[in-house]
Homo-oligomer: A and B are copies of this chain.
Amino acid sequence: MRFTSEQRLDDGVLEREFTLGEIPGILWTPGSASAPAPLILVGHPGGLREMRPRLARRARHYAAEYGFAAATIELPGAGDRPRLAAAEQARSDLRRAIEAGEPVDEIVDALVLPLVERAVPEWQTTLDALLSLPEIGGPVGYEGGVISVGIRLAVVEPRISAANLFAGSFVPAALFEEARRVTIPLQVLLQWDDEGNDRQAALDLFDTFGTKEKTLHANLGGHTGVPSFEIDAGARFFARHLS
């Protein structure tokens, strides 16, 4: 892990860009801390440059108000990272199939399953590097999308103690099955009128999660209309489970 920039923000939070091999990322840590901080891994659908303001808003709230460290990385094949030809093909197949009203299950598998296979080990390597920093101590939470990545991480990565997942459609059947094996506390955020998200599929997925402690927060509005109060609701969820 190599830090490439460092900036002290006006809320006291230290924002550092880093690279881990070819993977770019950003780390936010609290301005002052008496002990190593819990860590939130902040997932997103890819395209760090465009997502950055939204991610930074959440991460800085977590760091400044709750003393959590927060970090994000670019997804494989997204942003400035090398394209993945198969993923590009699957993405364009998916658009075409949706427009034509054709079934999408096989295309979703072709798009999401390889992404999960690549992204999850990268998150785990990132977690290794972050937990080796003296200012970060765990426990660890995961939040955001891609929800399939979050499901797999929740199942395979024992260092993750809680997850705040953003509902998305296009969850492969195999990941639906894995959701039954999730046992950590979950909060699931659903936009009730998400243009690109099948509400019933999201409710079915919530129902499927195997954990005994799960909460759904559904809000009126489209995909990008998550109310700002959900930032603090996410923080409070993690505060219950990571502090």
| Residues of A that sit less than 8 Å from B by CB | 192, 203, 206-207, 211-220, 227, 229, 232-233, 236, 240
Q: For the complex formed, measure the closest distance between the CB of A179 and the CB atoms of chain B, giving whole angstroms.
A: 14
A163 to B72 CA separation, bound complex (whole angstroms): 37
Q: Which residues of B contact A236 (CB under 8 A)?
A: 229, 232-233
Contact of B233 with A207 in the complex, beta carbons under 8 Å:
no
Contacts A203-B203, A229-B240: A216 and B214 contacting too (C-beta < 8 A)?
no
Contact of A217 with B220 in the complex, beta carbons under 8 Å:
no
Q: For the complex formed, measure the closest distance between the CB of A234 and the CB atoms of chain B, giving whole angstroms.
A: 12
Interchain Cβ contacts under 8 Å between A and B, 14 examples: A192-B207, A192-B214, A203-B203, A211-B220, A213-B220, A214-B219, A215-B218, A216-B216, A216-B218, A216-B219, A217-B217, A229-B240, A232-B236, A233-B233
A218's nearest neighbour on chain B, judged by CB, is B216
